[in-house]
Amino acid sequence: MTVEQEINRRKTFGIISHPDAGKTTLTEKLLLFGGAIQSAGAVKSNKIKKHATSDFMEIERQRGISVATSVMGFEYKGIKINLLDTPGHEDFAEDTYRTLTAVDSVIMVIDCVKGVEPQTRKLLEVCRMRKTPVIVFINKLDREGRDPFELLDEIEKELKIKVRPLSWPIGMGKQFKGVYSLFEKNLILFDAGNKLKAENAIYINDINSAEIERNVGERFAQILRDETEIIETVYPVFEPEEYLKGNISPVFFGSAVNNFGVRELLDCFVQIAPTPQPRYTDLKEVKPADKQFSGFVFKIHANIDPKHRDRIAFLRVCSGVFERNKNYYHVRENRQLKFNNPTAFMAAEKSIIDNAYPGDIIGLYDTGVFKIGDTLTEGAKESFKGIPSFSPEIFRYVNNTDPMKTKQLNKGLEQLTDEGVAQLFTKTLNNRKILGTVGVLQFEVIQHRLKSEYGASCTFEPINLHKACWISSKDKKKLDSFILEKSHHIAIDKDSKPVFLAESAWTLQMAQEKNPDIEFHNKSEF
């Protein structure tokens, strides 16, 4: 197979949603259809020994939530699908934002009972900024949910996107009969007792066919005809080109936990979802078909296998072909690196690969040379854009509760903050360490992982901080003078960049007004 053919058969996408909308369950069912797994895990109950394939950290299994992005690759109908299951919880949003830089399209899961929720809005905003094509999957149709038209109106209004149903539910909750695929023109009947097998579809080209009455009854058949007539009248004709531009989102209905409506979603996805798209560096547009290899690191994960203390950098291949045991140029470090065991992922399962193509996500064993946002090339001195660290919103002092394990604590903090789950600052006056995160739950996760993965224990002490801003100036003397004058408010980050710690919005505003030559940055990229 040629490189061009390999590129064109790849689809890389992320699944996003508010917590508990059923995202991880949908991920599992997609993997079942792809033959990547043989049975589904139990996401909700921590009493069951089988767990969701994509939730592989111990704390994820205990809490029943995803706290780190999982990468899974599988084949379906000759298409190589790279699926990234992202955390839904808002405290881990930054990991999701960075993951969205590595995908070409997104499936957004919405709970039919709750509708659009706060985290859904935030994630969709990121997709809109990047013009990422979005498919909507309205989940949990086996429960008594809201009217489908009401849900569609809310999605359009709240998320500011145009939608077009490509499947339509017949009934809901206890009266849920199935869905009619407007995309494939077939009727799929719901069987609550059959969760693992794909449903048998009845192909009906004519919505007025008596076959529909025979399967769902006269009343539901008439409702279906009336509602599909409204759909054809009110909503625009589905144009794949408009979807690819991010202008319209196809909508599917189903029940992921019952494995219902998932095949229709997947079949449509492999037909319409984009192949690998260009990415931008600080110098040019990089196209997948470009011959020279390039890629960027969007995630780092320490201790995927705690027994082996392995640290893996997740790299999105953007152009050319990645080859095992070949030298590549690490742009930030200005050095050559060779990788003898690059891996492909099936959640926590890893397999060594010899080649990877644009769109693929590969794992590179990392001894500490990678940071999020790093670029690898075949020699070109260019860096991919748009993968920053954001200013944290919640801050805590780190207190070491076991001085005998200081070395382990420092190593754990260093490695875990490399993953981007939190940021580490050190006050210049007293060397006290401060952790900054975007959510409170991050502290619990870090505390748990420090104990279970590094044998280190600590407590967190609240600190009254409003914002941490990176500071710079064209005038080095003025920057040095500012740092000296504000020494009580100055810390350094892991890269030894100076950071101003503002106790309040007023403190920050006054510092900015009195020091016009100092620039205050909300992102580490400047």
C-alpha separations of 447 from 95, 324, 399, 422 in Å: 18, 36, 11, 12
Please tell me the predicted confidence (pLDDT) of residue 90. 52
Pair of tokens at residue 479: 């920057």
Q: Where in the chain is the domain with CATH 3.30.70.3280?
A: 394-521
pLDDT category at 114 given cuts 50, 70, 90 is: very high
User: Does pLDDT of 515 surpass 50?
Assistant: yes
105-111 and 10-17: which strand pairing?
parallel
pLDDT category at 349 given cuts 50, 70, 90 is: low
Please tell me the predicted confidence (pLDDT) of residue 107. 95
**296/246 Cα distance (integer angstroms):** 24
The answer to whether the CB of 186 falls within 8 A of the CB of 203 is yes
**15/135 Cα distance (integer angstroms):** 10
User: Does pLDDT of 89 surpass 50?
Assistant: no
User: Does pLDDT of 413 surpass 70?
Assistant: yes
User: Does pLDDT of 200 surpass 90?
Assistant: no
Name the β-bridge partners of 168: 180
Q: Where in the chain is the domain with CATH 3.40.50.300?
A: 3-272, 279-377
| CATH top-level class of 3-272 | alpha beta
User: Does pLDDT of 4 surpass 70?
Assistant: yes
Average pLDDT, the chain: 84
User: Does pLDDT of 50 surpass 70?
Assistant: no
What's the whole-number mean pLDDT along residues 300-323? 78
Please tell me the predicted confidence (pLDDT) of residue 199. 52
Place domain 279-377 in its CATH homologous superfamily.
Answer: P-loop containing nucleotide triphosphate hydrolases (3.40.50.300)
**446/449 Cα distance (integer angstroms):** 5
User: Does pLDDT of 45 surpass 60?
Assistant: no
Which residues neighbour 223 within 8 Å (Cβ) at sequence distance 6 or greater?
A: 170
Which residues neighbour 482 within 8 Å (Cβ) at sequence distance 6 or greater?
A: 471, 473, 515, 518
pLDDT, tens digit, for every residue of 457-510?
Answer: 999 999 999 999 999 999 999 999 999 999 999 999 988 999 999 999 999 999
In the CATH scheme, what is the code of domain 394-521? 3.30.70.3280
For the ranges 98-107, 164-173, 186-195, the lowest mean pLDDT is seen at 186-195
